[in-house]
Amino acid sequence: MHNQITITPTELVVSPAGLDCLWALKGAIRVPWRHVTGIFRDQGAFKEHKGLRLPGTAIPGLYYAGSFFYDGQRRFYNVRRNTPIVVITLINEGY
């Protein structure tokens, strides 16, 4: 699992790399900096309930990639068990 992160003066771009792009069924996610409210590491994010997978890949307890809908929010995951997890929180965005 890995993501390509590109930082520009106006936006943050997160792109699943390699086969993760296929499993996540998602290309680049582009977010203006004014919509980013936080970036932090959170190993607990792997264990939280993901919700309904729309579309993506889920191998429970091992790997989650793609879009998930839970508690009225759409979220994007590209995470594996026992790997570092970075959480990016957004406002006024689709994810």
Q: Structural domain boundaries of the chain?
A: 3-90
Average pLDDT for the chain: 91
Q: Do residues 26 and 13 make contact, with C-beta atoms less than 8 angstroms apart?
A: no
Copy the structure tokens of residue 94.
Answer: 């689709």
pLDDT digits (tens, 9 = 90+) for 3-47: 889 999 999 999 998 888 888 888 889 999 999 999 999 988 899
Q: Do residues 56 and 64 make contact, with C-beta atoms less than 8 angstroms apart?
A: yes
Q: Which residues contact 18 (CB under 8 A, 6 or more apart)?
A: 2
pTM: 0.84
User: What is residue 12's predicted lDDT score, i.e. its pLDDT?
Assistant: 96
> Which secondary-structure segment (H or E) carries 23?
helix 20-24
